[in-house]
Amino acid sequence: MTTLNISLPDPMEDFVERQALQGSYSSSSEYVRALIREEQKRLAQATLEAKLLEGIASGEATEMTRQDWEMLRRGVTRRHSRSRQ
């Protein structure tokens, strides 16, 4: 694990320490890690929602054909093969 040093004004440091104690965290670092994890989840959710909206706006849905599924399988197999190299 890497150490990251940050500078906080005294009121912010007091806030972090109070939140850590009130939230049953073992340290201020654990509290900050939890905040970062929550932000990562929020950003992942926002990305997913944007992709879903993009898909909805892309036009009328069409039924997948055998050819579509085969093309998808080939692409996945190719990417999997490259990642193992």
Write down the domain spans for the chain. 7-58
**Taking a C-beta distance cutoff of 8 angstroms, is the pair 50, 57 a contact?**
no
Tens-place pLDDT, residues 26-78: 999 999 999 999 999 999 999 999 999 999 999 998 999 999 999 999 999 99
pLDDT of residue 30: 96
Contacts of 23 (CB under 8 A, 6+ apart): 31, 34
The predicted model scores a pTM of 0.69
pLDDT confidence of 83, banded at 50, 70, 90?
confident
Could you give the CA distance from residue 7 to residue 13 in angstroms, rounded to a whole number? 9
Q: What angle do CA 73, 51, 46 make, to 5 degrees?
A: 130
pLDDT of residue 82: 87
pLDDT of residue 43: 98
